[in-house]
Amino acid sequence: MTIFRGPPTPYIPDDLTIPQFILDSHHPTRPVRPHGIPWLIDDVSGTKVGFDELRARSNGLANALKIQYGIGENDVVCVFSSNHIDYPVLVWAAHRLGATVSTANPSYTTDELVYQLQISGSGIIFAHPGSLEIAAEAATKAGISHDRVIVLDSVAGSPYKTVSEMINFGLRRPVSYVERRLEAGEAKTKLAFLCFSSGTTGKPKAVAISHFAVIANVVQLAVHHKIDDPTIPPEEARFAVGEVCTAVLPFFHIYGLIVNLHFALFCAMSIVVIPKFNFTDFLASIVRYRITDLMIVPPMLVLISKHPAVKNYDLSHVKATWSGAAPLSIELTLQVSKVLPNAIIGQGYGMTETATAVTLMPPPQRLGNGSVGTLMPGCAAKVIKQDGTLGGVGELGELVITGPNMALRYHNNEQATKETFVDGWVHTGDEVYFDVKGEMFVVDRLKELIKVRGFQVPPAELEGHLLGHPYVADVAVIPLPDDYSGEIPMAYVVPSTDVAARVRDPKEAEKVKAEIIKYVADNKVKYKWLAGGVEFIDVIPKNPSGKLLRRILRDKARADRAVKAKL
């Protein structure tokens, strides 16, 4: 029986919460942060935040949440914000009280946020000023009183409390909570996060992630990268003490939350917190703060390799780029290496359900070769072939993975949990193979998710929504390859009888398509929009049991694009 294994599992404490691990304790793999190296840097203002301030603000906010709202064990706090210098403060304050944090995409529509609030059972919302209107509307619909909506920064004329006001209140009052020390092994089951991940059917699911899983992945990453290893020459060291890392990846996304935030802080790096991605502003930030490490996704690397503005910035100090959330091709890797000749360019593989990274490019390798790297310490993998047997070296099959960093389950979704989390193993839905060196290559997705700039878009969600439009009799949504986004959604629509005759006129057909596209844009977060357009079709291909045959439509779309390209 072939089971692919990473190096041995390192020591991982199982009686600590995340803030106890990050703020209150030391680990053998953790480098010492010299005095004067900030933890966080605000990209816009240049404000630097160190350990003492972070710890004090977290404790002050925890005290205020306890006194003013009675937040405690197993309550759920929703963070509905773009990246902000107080984001970790919100997370760690809730964790100090034994509460769980549900991270939400600040671009969500009201109904999308309401769904997350209800599924997670959130009782308080921390909202960025730019998302406050949606947060307030969602709170009303979800039955959350508006005094439980807290804004991260002051807003003129706003009746809502701010985070800083609460922190100041908490710091002026006697400590009203007793932080619980977990029993040995309890961190493995104690919930830290409910992060939402899209499946192939229905709406996003809340992935239940323990404190132990996050701590485990931080330690696994440290061991894999040989952090603070004195035998490695300084010029080859990865994530070295005092280096500066971007935080443009959203903290609500698992990659940004665990790898970009918690792991980088563990490594004694400084993180430049960037609230919103604008490419030329991003380039300016890299230069202004002498950023050495870029944690990004392939669409950003496409811009680095092709955007004309890049030549106006000296990026020679960039030491590494780390890509995830979507495949990074060999071709793009080589293009980026010409622009960043001094940089390591690597990628990894992970999921919300695996509490992030399970493979990464190993040291001392400096350029990716199309693989997603080797297994993390403590991880084991099986390749399940179509006939149900285990695949060996070079054989294709579904990746099934286990390790100390696996999520626990889907929250309040027993059926989906049974399908994905089986006896401690996570069925990923991705088709992979391992080579003789233990490197993993991702070939295709067996699940029908569309990956747009690293974000998951379940076709079934869009199809269900589109079927509510009067012009749509039947529909199938497929991914189209896209240079920038990786993939974009496209819809094949069988028009309803009311418009079937109308769409025979090309001008009228375009009007109908525009209305269908707008119907999605008005109700879904931007990455779910039908950027690939709408095409009309007489019938949606299905198998005898009624399952959509999306592969046929994908092939048709590619063939149609090839024909148009020749014209």
pLDDT in tens, the chain (567 residues): 689 999 999 999 999 999 999 999 999 999 999 999 999 999 999 999 999 999 999 999 999 999 999 999 999 999 999 999 999 999 999 999 999 999 999 999 999 999 999 999 999 999 999 999 999 999 999 999 999 999 999 888 889 999 999 999 999 999 999 999 999 999 999 999 999 986 444 578 999 999 999 999 999 999 999 998 889 988 889 999 999 999 999 999 999 999 999 999 999 999 999 999 999 999 999 999 999 999 998 878 888 988 889 999 999 999 999 998 777 878 888 889 999 999 999 999 999 999 999 999 999 999 989 899 999 999 999 999 989 999 999 999 999 999 999 999 999 999 999 999 999 999 998 889 999 999 999 876 667 778 898 787 878 788 878 888 989 988 889 999 888 888 999 999 999 888 999 999 999 999 999 999 999 999 999 999 999 999 999 988 876 545 577 878 988 988 888 777 776
Cα–Cα distance between 33 and 23 in angstroms, integer? 12
- Strand 356-360 to 344-351 pairing: antiparallel
In the chain, list all ranges with CATH 3.40.50.980: 50-181
Q: H helices then E strands: how many in the chain?
A: 17, 27
How would you class 174 by CB atoms within 10 Å of its CB: exposed for 0-12, middle for 13-18, buried for 19 or more?
exposed
Cα–Cα distance between 155 and 161 in angstroms, integer? 10
DSSP string for 100-147: EEEEE-TT--HHHHHHHHHHHT--EEEE-GGGHHHHHHHHHHHT--GG
Cα–Cα distance between 22 and 55 in angstroms, integer? 10
Of the candidates 223, 510, 528, which has an alpha carbon nearest to the alpha carbon of residue 357? 223
Of the candidates 221, 194, 193, which has an alpha carbon nearest to the alpha carbon of residue 404? 221
In the chain, list all ranges with CATH 3.40.50.12780: 4-11+198-445
Which residues, listed in sequence order, are joined to residue 421 by a DSSP beta bridge? 426
Of the candidates 85, 94, 164, 169, which has an alpha carbon nearest to the alpha carbon of residue 124? 94
Locate tokens 């993993």: which residue? 440
At the second CATH level, the architecture of 50-181 is: 3-Layer(aba) Sandwich (3.40)
pLDDT on residue 200:
42
Residue 354: CA atoms inside 13 Å, Cβ hemisphere, count?
A: 29
Tokens coding 275: 């609230």
pLDDT on residue 429:
87
Cα–Cα distance between 160 and 42 in angstroms, integer? 23
Of the candidates 29, 98, 17, which has an alpha carbon nearest to the alpha carbon of residue 378? 29
* Contacts with 214 (C-beta within 8 Å, 6 or more apart), sequence order: 18, 192, 193, 258, 262, 355, 405
* Element housing 495 (H / E): strand 486-495
Tokens coding 259: 């790898």
Cα–Cα distance between 266 and 29 in angstroms, integer? 9
Of the candidates 31, 49, 29, which has an alpha carbon nearest to the alpha carbon of residue 39? 49
Greatest C-alpha distance within the chain: 74
The DSSP code for 331 is H
Residue 108: CA atoms inside 13 Å, Cβ hemisphere, count?
A: 27
Cα–Cα distance between 32 and 111 in angstroms, integer? 45
Cα–Cα distance between 116 and 100 in angstroms, integer? 14
pLDDT on residue 446:
67
User: Quick one: 4-11+198-445 is in which CATH superfamily?
Assistant: ANL, N-terminal domain (3.40.50.12780)
SS3 for 31?
Answer: coil
Q: What is the pTM of this model?
A: 0.85
Distances (CA, A) of 471 to 133, 445, 467, 523, 536: 31, 31, 8, 16, 11
pLDDT on residue 545:
44
Of the candidates 289, 340, 280, which has an alpha carbon nearest to the alpha carbon of residue 315? 340
In the chain, list all ranges with CATH 3.30.300.30: 450-566
SS3 for 148?
Answer: helix
Rounded to a whole number of angstroms, the distance between the first and last alpha carbons of the chain is 52
Task: Report CA dihedral (338, 339, 345, 351) to the nearest 10 degrees.
Answer: -130
Cα–Cα distance between 224 and 358 in angstroms, integer? 10
At the second CATH level, the architecture of 450-566 is: 2-Layer Sandwich (3.30)
Tokens coding 83: 């990246």
Compute the C-alpha angle 371/397/484, nearest 5°.
45
Q: What is the 3-state secondary structure (H, E, C) of 360-421?
A: ECCCCCCECCCCCCEECCCCEEEEECCCCCECCCCCCEEEEEECCCCCCEECCCHHHHHHHE
